[in-house]
Structure 1
Amino acid sequence: MSRSTALVDLFSNKLSVVLPTIAVLLGALFVRALFAADPLSHIPEVGRELGSNEKRRQAFLANAKALYRDGYQKFKDGVFQIVTSKANTSVVVVAPRYLDELKKLPDSIISMEDAVAQSLHAKYTKLPVGDNTVAHTIKSSLNPALPHLNQELLDEVEQSFLAELPPCDDWTPIRFHGKLLRIVARVSGRVFVGPELGRDEGYLDAAINYTVEVMNARRAIDRMQPWKRPFLAWRLPEVKRLDERFRQATAILRPIVEARMRLGPDERPNDMLQWLMDDSQAKFGKQSSARLAQMQLALSFASIHTTTMTGTNALYDLAAHPELATELRQEIVSVLAANNGIMSTHALQAMKKLDSFLKESLRLHPPGASSFQRKVRQPITLSTGENIPAGVVIEAAAHAVTRDPRIFDDPEEFRPLRFYEMRQRYREEGSVDQAARNQFVSVSSNALSFGYGRHACPGRFFAANEIKLIVATCILLYDVRLAGGATERYKNFEFGTSSIPDPSKELVFRRVAG
């Protein structure tokens, strides 16, 4: 017998012994997995009556808001789980009462970064999750600079309205969402990259379309079976489109970045691009144009579309209640007269009725059904005893909270001065802190659209200023109505957790006389 034949026989003999053992082990693991206790079995599940996980997943895609609201109404002060759009994946939804204890937990225990990375497939979409440079620069440079930037922003708002809207000397129908998207991109670009580049069509194209492309890539990856993603996700056309967008943005920014690197300290512009360059260099050394382009696209993703949706919702509400314009216009004119005609940060803060109107519009039309997404890294136990294992995502039912009659009187009713009246009442009672909690920009367990805790949106102060400047300018310049004599406010599109104003709807504008 040859040596090779002997080795084959030896291997065969060994294999005949090992294979049954492997089969038994695999069978044991399968049975264990089949009959293992569900670590979330103690938490009630919403939508079980709908049938299989796939049916519940489809129900989530069709109208997640209804499922969150159903769970919130059944378990107002407790927790429940809900099957999400991803097959066989649940999230645990917690009542507002738990948020104060959860926000104190460190990122090593519950992580917003992990939740966002999982939801948006950051590994493939290349969103810079985990890089805190942008958030740090917003807090350290952008927010403190806002009082000095307001006049520049107002100039861009006024120029953008003139550039994007027709004269409107008589009632003129306009598909406003698309116009506002360009206005917001220009106004944001004034601060993000400076006035010249902020009006460049290549930059505007990248800033406006990047968010849509990220969401397209996310949906395409969601549809792919998880085990295939490491091998095939990068080849998806939607993911390749993002790679092309990065190259385009880098090409636009490269000459600007190179020119700025040659400037002396006293010559540097006062905008987000320069602050990012300075902050990045201080921490990590000189950053490449590609890295700065990625940061700029992340800024666009976080700000432009959400600001546009909030502004469009506000204008749809204003058009549905045209009698409100007179009262808001009187307040704006009065405040400007008291501030030398300057729409400063102080003046915007004094427009309390405008602030209340915007907060009420956001209350009724939040951008999503849920907020405060965190992925559990280490098992946690809530104060009421519920155990939540590692690997689970927890959320709060942001939309359902805004419809809770225990929190808001007549919660389904649009009352534009709701928060103005609340703030007045708290001031009369001497509760200054409570009055401040009911501003448009404030976050609380009852107002979650900007998030909550230390990871609340750092750019909300800039966004609030921008929205107020745009809406106040619009009210001063135009009367606005719904198109076609409609009197009922346009309905939003609902899909998954998202709620967006219908971008196809028209508003009718007419310049205010004088």
Structure 2
Amino acid sequence: MALVTQLAHSASALAPLLLPSIAAIIALALFQRFFAPNPLSNIPTVGDQEYPGYEKKRQAYLTGKAKDLYVEGYTKFKHGLFRIVTPNAGNVIVVSPSFLGELKKLPDDVVSFDAALDDFMHTKYTLIPTHEAVIPHTVKSSLTPSLPRLNPQISQEVQIAFSQEIAPLISMSQAASESEWAPININSKLLRIVAKVSGRIFIGPELCHDERYLEAAVGYTVSVMEAQRAVEKMNPWLRPFAAWRLPEVKKLAEMEKDATAFLRPVVEARREKQRKGEEEERDNDMLQWLMDSADQGQGKAHGKWGEDTTTTRKLARLQLAISFAAIHTTTLVTTHAVYSLAADKGLQDTLREEVRSVLKEHSDGVFTTSALQAMKKTDSFLKETMRFHPLGQTSFSRKVLKTFVLSNGQVMPKGSTIQVPNYAVSRDPDVYPNPDVFDPLRFYNLRNEARGKGEVEQAATNQFVSVNKEFLTFGYGRHACPGRFFAANEIKMILANLVMTYEMGLAEGETERYRDWDIAAGTIPDPTKNVMFRSLVV
């Protein structure tokens, strides 16, 4: 008790000395916050006239105006920079693609892809697994080199998934209505098809059809985006107090718990076989590659693989992260493509003719790597689909961790975020002639023109998986999407099997391709729409 009293007296004696110091620190912080020179004050902000004030700009961004704001800024400041208010607090600087050359050279401790992803996905609240550098490492070192061997397996899985997900619905519709055409919500079906096909490579042929796996993979994918959007709608100042109580965030935590409960015994069973030497043939999929990477100590050499790299929980969470990355974007791109096909019978005929010709000429009906590469019109159609219907308004998002200066003298302060206006670039007539026209053979023709001039490198830049300053959907620089080669092959096989098996059309009364939904900085195909299917008569 005497000690407590002594401490109290000491604190009282020190208070007159400490309080001025504390007050000075607070005053300095307030001065820096409100009165210190802002290095970004010379960069214009878009939307000032239409949406005066921070909250009106934020709400405009959230309610479908983001696309217009990015286009406005790019049009006015095409070769420079502008600022935009997003749903998240902080300075967001949108830069011209002309700066990408210098930006991609900056190290990750100056401009961070991972930190920008954390902000976008709100991982502070959603707790989704990010910063797992072992995933891109494994994709680059194991998955992509294995694609020539894996492509026939992927093709087989596409056919199996079609027979389970689409064919029964057509048969049921014919039996019920005596109509050849069956309405199918293709977005929901593609979620399951992509999950099965991707799962064949991620977790193996036995488990990729298990409903518990599908529920985990598809459910987690959907729940992640629901939680992200829910947090994004919330005012930034309120998130630290209430985001964790959002139903969508709570559901995501439950989904992860359930998925981990399913995946854990799968990992444990494989480890037990290894310990006992009972493996008749070593599994050759992403799960095994990740396990091998952990066993070899590769994880610690490639980012936040952590001390629990060999634990089943860690591997299960990595499987969820891989499933989300693969299923979400692949399903969206494929749905976009199917909607365009349904609205254009001539395009279906064009792709169908190419697929038949290529399979006959190159591989006797097998989707080999050479056959997929020869499907140049299909490749062009996919690239044009992503140009015309990009999944987001921006690309190359980076969080500034250390203040630096651009070549034009502009200071980029720590804590700000950099973006490149992907959508606006894709609609720039100086980059793409007639940019508002959907031309499925745009890149096919560009490749032929370049090849005719002997410009081999230029021809290569017009491939679907190519990354350059004019096509930023897959990102740019060393963090460009590592899984795009696998995704491209998977999407091509799905579309090829669709046009070879079915005719597609729009729902009754619809005459134009279904309109997209703009949600904040994202663009998705309308998930409520049906596509009409009927079996192709050869």
Residue aligning to 1:245: 255
CA separation in 1, counterparts of 2:11 and 2:229?
48
Residue aligning to 1:257: 267
Residue aligning to 2:304: none
Deviations 1:162-184 (A, max 9, x none): 11112367121111111111111
Three-state SS of the structure 1 residue aligned to 2:84 is: strand
Change over 3 Å in CA distance of 1:13–1:305 after alignment to 2: closer
Residue aligning to 2:37: 37
CA separation in 1, counterparts of 2:533 and 2:181?
5
Change over 3 Å in CA distance of 1:7–1:123 after alignment to 2: closer
2:142 aligned partner, one-letter code: S
- Aligned pairs (5 A) from 1:457-496: 457-496=481-520
Aligned-residue offset at 1:288:
1.4
2:345 aligned partner, one-letter code: P
Q: Find the partner of 2:282 among 268, 271, 282.
A: 268
Deviations 1:46-102 (A, max 9, x none): 112220000011111112111111101111111111011124x33111111111111
Aligned-residue offset at 1:25:
6.0
Residue aligning to 2:352: 329
Residue aligning to 1:109: 110
CA separation in 1, counterparts of 2:437 and 2:215?
38
Tell whether the 8 Å contact from 1:335 to 1:350 is kept in structure 2 after alignment: yes
> Do structure 1's residue 216 and structure 2's residue 219 form an aligned pair?
no
> Do structure 1's residue 160 and structure 2's residue 161 form an aligned pair?
yes
CA separation in 1, counterparts of 2:263 and 2:17?
65
CA separation in 1, counterparts of 2:371 and 2:284?
23
Change over 3 Å in CA distance of 1:402–1:8 after alignment to 2: closer
2:170 aligned partner, one-letter code: P
1:460 aligned partner, one-letter code: R
> Do structure 1's residue 361 and structure 2's residue 381 form an aligned pair?
no
Q: Find the partner of 1:86 among 64, 88, 92.
A: 88
Three-state SS of the structure 1 residue aligned to 2:504 is: strand
Aligned-residue offset at 1:495:
1.3
Runs of 4+, deviation exceeding 6 Å = 2-14
RMSD over aligned CA atoms reads 2.5
Structure 2: 5+ residue stretches without partners: 175-179, 300-307
CA separation in 2, counterparts of 1:10 and 1:505?
72
CA separation in 1, counterparts of 2:283 and 2:10?
76
Deviations 1:185-217 (A, max 9, x none): 111111110112111111111111212322333
> Do structure 1's residue 196 and structure 2's residue 196 form an aligned pair?
no
**TM-score of the pair, normalised by structure 1:** 0.94
Greater shift, 56-65 or 23-32, is seen at 23-32
Residue aligning to 1:381: 405
> Do structure 1's residue 442 and structure 2's residue 443 form an aligned pair?
no
1:493 aligned partner, one-letter code: W
Aligned-residue offset at 1:257:
1.4
Change over 3 Å in CA distance of 1:252–1:410 after alignment to 2: same
Aligned-residue offset at 1:19:
5.1
1:336 aligned partner, one-letter code: L
Aligned-residue offset at 1:316:
0.6
Residue aligning to 2:303: none
1:35 aligned partner, one-letter code: F
Aligned-residue offset at 1:401:
0.6
Residue aligning to 1:399: 423
Q: What number of residue pairs does the alignment pair up?
A: 512
> Do structure 1's residue 47 and structure 2's residue 57 form an aligned pair?
no
CA separation in 2, counterparts of 1:291 and 1:232?
27
- Aligned pairs (5 A) from 1:339-358: 339-358=363-382
Three-state SS of the structure 2 residue aligned to 1:45 is: coil
Tell whether the 8 Å contact from 1:483 to 1:508 is kept in structure 2 after alignment: yes
Aligned-residue offset at 1:23:
4.9
1:211 aligned partner, one-letter code: T
Three-state SS of the structure 2 residue aligned to 1:481 is: strand
Change over 3 Å in CA distance of 1:258–1:20 after alignment to 2: closer
Three-state SS of the structure 1 residue aligned to 2:221 is: helix
Tell whether the 8 Å contact from 2:219 to 2:255 is kept in structure 1 after alignment: no
Tell whether the 8 Å contact from 1:133 to 1:280 is kept in structure 2 after alignment: no
Structure 1: 5+ residue stretches without partners: none
Tell whether the 8 Å contact from 2:100 to 2:469 is kept in structure 1 after alignment: yes
Change over 3 Å in CA distance of 1:307–1:22 after alignment to 2: closer
Tell whether the 8 Å contact from 2:87 to 2:233 is kept in structure 1 after alignment: no
Change over 3 Å in CA distance of 1:31–1:275 after alignment to 2: closer
Tell whether the 8 Å contact from 2:91 to 2:415 is kept in structure 1 after alignment: no
Aligned-residue offset at 1:146:
0.7
Tell whether the 8 Å contact from 1:260 to 1:268 is kept in structure 2 after alignment: no
Three-state SS of the structure 2 residue aligned to 1:457 is: coil
Tell whether the 8 Å contact from 1:202 to 1:252 is kept in structure 2 after alignment: yes
Deviations 1:328-386 (A, max 9, x none): 11111110111212111110110101111111111100000011011111112112221
Aligned-residue offset at 1:230:
5.7
Greater shift, 213-222 or 459-468, is seen at 213-222
CA separation in 2, counterparts of 1:103 and 1:299?
25
Tell whether the 8 Å contact from 2:83 to 2:91 is kept in structure 1 after alignment: yes
CA separation in 1, counterparts of 2:475 and 2:25?
46
**TM-score of the pair, normalised by structure 2:** 0.90
Greater shift, 377-386 or 473-482, is seen at 377-386
